[in-house]
Amino acid sequence: MQALVETLFDAVYLITVITLGLRMIRGSRGNRQFRLFGCMAVVLGAGDAFHLIPRALALCTTGLDSYTVALGAGKWITSITMTVFYVLLYYVWRYRYRIQGQKTLTAAVYALAGVRILLCMMPQNDWLSAAAPLAWGVYRNIPFALLGAVIIVLFYRSARAANDAAFRWMWLTIVLSFGFYIPVVLWADAVPMIGMLMIPKTCAYVWTVLIGYRAMRRECN
């Protein structure tokens, strides 16, 4: 039952975010903000596919233990693409609110993303092992959480200042995604049921993409 439900959920998620992303790229009509948002959605879905597709195969066939290497490699790729996702979201913020300058802020975003990717590349993560060290899961997620916090504050302040109804909840989608993700990083190995929090975390990302898609439909038509 878990295999069927989880596989269907993941399939709907991947198809939804990638389809919406492609539609945004095609329908942006030269609007750099929404074209970038579409690319961001495609990066999100394509990156997650590297982990979710092997997981679906594992659940529907011989089990997760038989796909340790594929799942680890997929998790590693997803960790990189999620970092890229937030860098692209930072530029969506810049384009939407016509932000100029802010070189120090941009440097901070790139520094946090760079440290996150560097930590993800370290062999100590032992991505391909069934018993990857928890400590490195924490280390690589510290700059990631800081990057998310920066994006949360930027969208919260700018949407309020501009009275931007379309993006007024963007900050909340990011808060929710991290709120559901962090417990999984910290405690899912000890308490497997905590892994179920990845479902609402995934829904939060779908909400993020829908915010951009609906805004494009209103503003570009």
Say how far apart CA 172 and CA 174 lie, in whole Å.
5
- CATH number, domain at 23? 1.20.1070.10
At residue 6 the predicted structure's pLDDT band, cuts being 50, 70 and 90, is: confident
Question: Is the predicted pLDDT of residue 1 greater than 80, yes or no?
Answer: no
Residue 68 structural domain: 2-219
pLDDT at residue 134 tops 80:
yes
Residue 202 has pLDDT above 80, yes or no: yes
Q: Work out the number of other CB atoms within 10 angstroms of the CB of residue 191.
A: 11
Contact indicator for 86, 148 with CB cutoff of 8 Å: yes
pLDDT at 219: 87
Burial of 137 (0-12, 13-18, 19+ CB in 10 A): middle
Say if residue 2 is exposed, middle or buried (CB neighbours under 10 Å; 0-12, 13-18, 19+): exposed
| pTM recorded for the entire structure | 0.93
At 77, give phi and psi (nearest 5°): -60, -45
- Can you give the chain as a three-state secondary structure string? CHHHHHHHHHHHHHHHHHHHHHHHHHHCCCCHHHHHHHHHHHHHHHHHHHHHHHHHHHHHCCCHHHHHHHHHHHHHHHHHHHHHHHHHHHHHHHHHCCCCCCHHHHHHHHHHHHHHHHHHHCHHHCCCCCCCCHHHHHHHHHHHHHHHHHHHHHHHHHHHHCCCCCCCCHHHHHHHHHHHHHHHHHHCCCCHHHHHHHHHHHHHHHHHHHHHHHHHHHHCC
**How far is the C-alpha of 63 from the C-alpha of 13, rounded, in Å?**
22
Please tell me the predicted confidence (pLDDT) of residue 76: 95
The per-residue pLDDT for 3 is 76
Tens of pLDDT, residue by residue over 180-193, are 999 988 888 778 78
pLDDT digits (tens, 9 = 90+) for 65-91: 888 999 999 999 999 999 999 999 999
Mean pLDDT confidence for 109-116: 97
pLDDT at residue 191, rounded to an integer: 80
Lowest-confidence region among 22-31, 45-54, 97-106: 22-31
Residue 30 has pLDDT above 90, yes or no: no
pLDDT band at 28 (very low <50, low <70, confident <90, very high): confident
- Quick one: pLDDT band at residue 174, thresholds 50, 70, 90? very high
Q: How many structural domains are present in the chain?
A: 1
